[in-house]
Structure 1
Amino acid sequence: MDLIYVDSSTVDQIGYDEYEGEAHVIFKTGRHYIYSEVTQEVWERFRDTSSKGRFLNEEFKAKGYPVRET
């Protein structure tokens, strides 16, 4: 899985593990969260959105995706 740097005030890098269906989000603070049960379509919307923080709140958090911190 490759991580990509993004233009965001809070998010530093994101990545997607297509085999596990997991979106990886590394914040500028260094915290690393892994959201599970993420489809390819949702990942692409997240990757392409102009506001990563808003997407995290309105999609991953609001819809209750399983999450763990590494």
Structure 2
Amino acid sequence: MPVQELRSSSAIDRAAYSPAKRELSIWFTGGRRYIYSDVPPELYDALCAARSAGRFVNDAVRGRFASRTDPPRRRYFD
């Protein structure tokens, strides 16, 4: 699953799409990952090309596809 950094958003860090599972993963800058199910591949392409990834997610993804969260990874420092 290739990961695409999204520089068009201050809230979204990166996104990835699994064609086999039809899952869209979106990592937010705080570290939390949302995984959206049954997403068509065209939507991922549109997200990567969007002028504002955050606005695109709010308008075309959030609330339209079933989702689950993956808790943020804890970072440990010495």
Could you say which structure has the larger radius of gyration? 2
Q: CA deviation at 1:20?
A: 0.5
Q: If each structure's helix is expressed as a fraction of its own residues, which one has the higher value? A: 1
* Secondary structure of the structure 1 residue equivalent to 2:20: coil
Equivalenced residues, count = 69
Equivalent position amino acid for 2:41 in 1: Q
Gaps of 5+ in 1: none
Equivalent position amino acid for 2:22 in 1: G
- Alignment partners' CA distance in 2, 1:42 and 1:29: 23
1:6 counterpart residue number: 6
1:39 counterpart residue number: 40
TM-score of the two chains, using structure 1 as the length reference: 0.90
TM-score of the two chains, using structure 2 as the length reference: 0.82
- Where do 4+ consecutive residues of structure 1 move more than 3 Å? none
- Report Cα offsets for 1:23-69 as digits up to 9, x if no partner: 1100100000011111111111111101111111101124x210100
- Residue 55 in 1 paired to residue 56 in 2? yes
